[in-house]
Amino acid sequence: MKAAVVREHGDFDQIVFELRPVPEPGPGEVRVRVKAAGLNHLDTWVRRGVPGHTFPLPLVLGSDGAGVVDALGAGVGGLEVGEPCVLLPGTSCGVCPTCLAGEDQLCREYGILGESRDGTCAEYVCVPAANVQPKPENLDYAEAASVPLVFQTAWSMLVRKAGLRAGDTVLVHAGGSGVGSAGVQIARLLGATVIATAGGATKCRHAEDLGAHIAIDYTTVDWLDEVRAATSGRGCDVVFEHVGAATFAGSIKSLARGGRLVTCGATTGGQVEISLHQVFFKNLSILGNTMGSKGDLCRVLDLFRAGRLRPVVDSVMPLDELADAHRRLEARDVFGKLVVEP
């Protein structure tokens, strides 16, 4: 099979295509013939490397995927060869107290496809049976592959961590990104007033189409001033952060008293300054989030089946153009998700 592999961290030329044996599923595993793989900024971090973190190189890239069940390992039931499926990107032990409590993202053995084990940017991938779910019939393979990581993360951020309620006002940064476009939709579904930032008029229009009540073009105006004006100086109940250093200070300032900031990333850098006086005088909460539970993602997939959420696919590209897809991600030349097909 063909697989996109990183053997050494570095620039785009570190993505190499290899012919590997088709993997055999072990006990409790399923082999999936990949029809489409969704890309995330995580893929670019795996390629470039992250200071202080060790990835198990060589590694097949890709956390999101959709395809067809191709083979079943010993002991696997409830799935049939030929069944269309979508892959859940987070893996865990499945038996520890946190897994049994439905919080598998907190498992000490938690990992992500394409980050801690071979991922989806290949013609075949083997995963635990718990990571295979039926593909929503109303989504094609590319659409299904665009959903899991970002919608799972956004759901966990807004529902589990921030406790977003109907009537809240939420600021979603980078509403044109994969996780941002998911956050806009989920916040609107939950009955919040949604303010989104985006880079450029076109992305702002798309964010409004997804459900943002107000879209702010941060390239032409001071987004913090616009948020304050939109909330009559009160601020937001929730800020959905994943940009990091470039926006974090303003995000804190944009919170209302008792507000909650929840963050899942730092694409512009993770070193930020914060005044603790702001935190305790205004009774603020700062919450971190990585991924979400398998149960969260199953709930999200049901909402897709019901047509209450929709995938946001910018482009579908051949797997051979994966390096160009990474360039587009890093240049923010994307609205929603990029998908590659083996």
Q: pLDDT, tens digit, for every residue of 175-201?
A: 999 999 999 999 999 999 999 999 999
For 61-86, what is each residue's pLDDT tens digit? 999 999 999 999 999 999 999 999 99
CATH number for the segment(s) 2-147+311-341: 3.90.180.10
Q: What is the tens place of the pLDDT at every residue in 292-328? A: 999 999 999 999 999 999 999 999 999 999 999 999 9
In the chain, where the domains are located: 2-147+311-341, 151-288
Mean per-residue pLDDT, 262-273:
93
Work out the pLDDT band at 4, boundaries 50, 70, 90: very high
pLDDT of residue 331: 93
Q: What is the pLDDT of residue 66?
A: 98
- For the domain 151-288, what is the CATH superfamily, name and number? Medium-chain alcohol dehydrogenases, catalytic domain (3.90.180.10)
Rounded Cα distance between 206 and 175, Å, is 9
Please give the pLDDT value at position 286.
98
Per the prediction, the chain carries an average pLDDT of 97
Query: In percent, how much of the chain has pLDDT > 90?
Result: 99
Please indicate whether the domains covering 2-147+311-341 and 151-288 agree at the CATH topology level. Answer: yes
User: Residue 244: which pLDDT band, with cuts at 50, 70 and 90?
Assistant: very high
Q: What is the pLDDT of residues 89-122, one digit of tens each?
A: 999 999 999 999 999 999 999 999 999 999 999 9
State residue 201's pLDDT score: 96
